[in-house]
Structure 1
Amino acid sequence: MDTSRFTSKVVIVTGAGSGIGEGAARRFAAEGANVVLAGRTQEKLERVARDLDAERTLVHRCDVSRYADAEDLIAAAVARFGRIDVLVNNAGVAPTGRIDEASLDDWHTIMSTDLDGVFYCSRAAIRHLIEAKGSIVNVSSVSGLGGDWGMSFYNAAKGAVTNFTRALAMDHGRDGVRVNAVCPSLTASDLTQDMLDNEQLMAKFRERIPLGRAAQPDDIAAVIAFLASDDARFVTGVNLPVDGGLSASNGQPPQA
């Protein structure tokens, strides 16, 4: 690992208290970044921050489903570190159920966090990212590239993030801002623990994923860091599956 790719850079990670967000925050910190840990649960953010360099870490409790909170997050990052180079829009929730089972509240919860939060933080940060010639990395999902059983609300939100990523990249490429997304498959986190504990379900996942396992947060964080780095300087508008080969399949089951 190049431990200097993000030296002096300022990186905001939403949903940084666990899972992919925690993995991304730790990865950027290990590569020299000043990291802003954003999320709704102070205790989770502080747990992550304890392992990081205090001089290069800011904990900011916020709810990205509220635009005022997104604006406050960006203002706090600039006040502390003077600039913003990378925004990682990771915060998300995933209630499940068919359209006739899940509630209207479930719909609004998913849309306000998984989609509005991406829009709000990107809108609030864009002028600073233009100044820094920075980048946005959105955390979409394989669920934003294809449908799932019983997850239509989540599919709708992540599908919107996927296409929003493309459009934002087109609008701001000539401003020097790159916008990409990672599209993970099943990844170990608090959000997916019930699935990971279901051995029958996990056997089906292992059968379908060519690499034979769920992702770890570090697997996704490494790709987020690549997309945010100068190594990806000519990459924008990409929704990159980080799925152990899941999307390589045409959907048919193994024949042997």
Structure 2
Amino acid sequence: MKVLVTGVSAGIGGAICEQLADRHGTALSLVMCVRRSTELVEELASACRLRDSTVVIVTADLSQPQAPAELVARAVEEFGGLDVIVSNAGIADPAPLESLELEAWDRMFAVTCRASWLLAKAAFPHLCDSRGSFVAISSQSGSHPHRGTGAYSSAKAALTMLCRQLAIEWGRYGIRVNCVSPGMIRTPMTEAVYQDERILRAREAIVPLGTIGQPSDVARLVEFLIDPTNRYVTGQNIGVDGGLSQTLLDRIPGLARRQ
């Protein structure tokens, strides 16, 4: 399996890489795309290589229009084709919309949504050949507005719709396209929040399963979606949120009763 994963770090992207290496071992040829290579990324690559997977680290700034096509070309050059793209790159730039700068809005959409489209577009002939799969990591923020997060919810909503449209346009070629929308996941980026015990307990209390998710919870779903034996799943946006997104009406005080 020839796989390209973007946005690789110690969070969700790294967990996806490790999950695929665990599952596929020697059958996995993996391109890990990072904004910059770090000791942590090198350790992650080494961990995957210990499972006998072939791993290449590529640095790229996906906010640049030419970067996605260059990244796909590098992956194809390394492995002679491409079976899967997992588009996980994203950024956070919280700000109220009335004070958000245009540059911040454009960068959010460039990295979160435009890069996914350009990756898919560049990979299209290769995914046609392999009857492959494209999975994007969106967010529950793409389905539910979250105040103060700037362009994040808007960009994630656009990403979710992009995947739905790609799924119906590319189904005729045997390419499956799906989206994963995590809820509250404990990653290095969010860890500072969970160091506050009061906030941790308050967050756990509003999740029906009573706990915060881990990157591995997302990774296992991604592995399921890209597995070619799950050939009839496409155009889906699947939440990984412990049931949080189903609790909106549960927060309304009181119940209407029959008179």
Give the TM-score taking structure 2 as reference length. 0.90
Shift of 1:124: 1.3
Moved more, 153-162 or 210-219: 210-219
Shift of 1:114: 0.8
How big is each residue's C-alpha offset from its partner over 1:59-100, in whole Å with a ceiling of 9 and x where there is no partner?
Answer: 111112223221121111111111110100000111112112
Moved more, 163-172 or 32-41: 32-41
Structure 1: which amino acid aligns with 2:103? D
Match of 1:51 in 2: 47
Once residues 68 and 15 of structure 2 are traced to their aligned partners in structure 1, the CA distance between those partners, rounded to angstroms, is 21
Tell me if the contact between 1:185 and 1:246 (Cα under 8 Å) persists in the aligned partners. yes
Moved more, 52-61 or 152-161: 52-61
Shift of 1:149: 1.9
Match of 2:257 in 1: none
Match of 1:16 in 2: 8
Q: Flag as ranges the 4+ runs of structure 1 deviating above 4 A.
A: none
Match of 2:20 in 1: 28
Match of 2:193 in 1: 195
Structure 1: which amino acid aligns with 2:33? A
Tell me if the contact between 1:64 and 1:120 (Cα under 8 Å) persists in the aligned partners. no
Tell me if the contact between 1:38 and 1:45 (Cα under 8 Å) persists in the aligned partners. no
Tell me if the contact between 1:17 and 1:37 (Cα under 8 Å) persists in the aligned partners. no
* Matching residue within 35, 39, 49 for 1:40: 35
Once residues 193 and 132 of structure 1 are traced to their aligned partners in structure 2, the CA distance between those partners, rounded to angstroms, is 38
Identity of aligned residues (%): 32
Q: Which runs of 5+ in 2 are unaligned?
A: 254-259
Greater C-alpha Rg: 2
Tell me if the contact between 1:17 and 1:41 (Cα under 8 Å) persists in the aligned partners. no
Tell me if the contact between 1:94 and 1:191 (Cα under 8 Å) persists in the aligned partners. no
Shift of 1:105: 3.0
SS in 2 for 1:230: coil
How big is each residue's C-alpha offset from its partner over 1:85-122, in whole Å with a ceiling of 9 and x where there is no partner?
Answer: 01000001111121123333321221111112211211
Q: Which runs of 5+ in 1 are unaligned?
A: 1-8
